[in-house]
Chains A and B, each alone.
Chain A
Amino acid sequence: MINKQYSSVSAAITDIPDGATVMIGGFGASGSPIELIHALIDHGAKDLTVINNNTGNGEVGLAALIGNRQVRKMICSFPRSSQSKVFPELYQAGKIELELVPQGTLAERIRAAGAGIPAFYTPTTVGTVLAEGKESREFDGREYVMEAWLPADFALVKCEIADPLGNLVYNKTARNFNPLMCMAATTTIVQTKRLVAAGDIDPEVVITPGIFVNRVVEVPKPVHEDTLIAAGRSYP
């Protein structure tokens, strides 16, 4: 029987090369695959392009990956945080690139990549500086901006329950970008709080079908970014 289970977070991410494009799930702290991110810091791949809604908090997780100078470029919708100086300082020093994408466009570009749709038209950004240089077209008398799909080499994702086939269930608002990123990456790596046997997840409640998932690793007691920050922790 198919088994996508990996024994450890380090084994699951060890082939991420320098220069890779990596999607990281989560919205702020919720749904952030922090153990996989810390394994990527230990692994040391550099020159990464990272896709996430934000740029991390404190000095753990995504902020620590950026702070460790492994990220060449961030693609995100909201790179500011009241809890982190890591990205702003590097950005203002010209040491990291930023592609700013409105949140809904970011989600749809990721979804489109997973769905095999190379581009789409959206009303978002029409009449603003973020539409400059982009192709636009009128449909039924209204103007729309063309946006391209956004694929990635790897996706790092967090979920609540997984089975060895890669069927996934999330928890509350920790779902956010995670299911979309599963679809859009060549190799999708998932950390799950609980790994159950095939058949233990009701097929009616599967959110991400296993076809979108390549690797699953169980992390039974994931740490939460906010808890680490409240404890004044940094990584490594």
Chain B
Amino acid sequence: MSEKIKEYPGHPLSEQDISTGKVLTTKWRPKARYMYAAGVAISKFLEELKNGRIVGRKCRKCGRILVPPRMYCEWCFRPTDEWVYVKDTGRVVTAVISYIAADRARLEKPEIIAVIELDGASPGMGILHKLGEVDPEDVKNMKVFGMRVKAVWKPPEEREGSITDILYFRPLKEGEE
């Protein structure tokens, strides 16, 4: 039973116990730097982002168009067959408002984060990206769900072949496709 804890009560500390040196500590900052290989599919994907286009791969067996592209289909477990360009428009599957950065520090200006299904990709092929020009209230009242959006690209000369060559997705304007 959990009452056994009385025999091994443990030694909890406060942040102060550590910061004031009440208990001994050692510090370490790893020098862990990496150079990741992007691979065939993602190298091409990044290259096409630089051209202002989004490319996927098609598996002829299950018929899916995979975005981001993959050189193998993880369902059919076979190589995918061809490159397919998809549109830079799509539909919001889910969206949230982030008030914190990756290290949990508060952001000065909140960001809207979304999963977006692109037109031309198979259903369910959501990608992670940001939304802009969207009223945070429309996230809170859920109007954002199903919203039609379009990529806002960096100017061609500023693109570097990165997922951030798309600045964000904005709502499609009326009459726009």
Partners in one complex: no
Q: Which residues of B contact A (CB under 8 A)?
A: none
Q: Which residues of A contact B (CB under 8 A)?
A: none
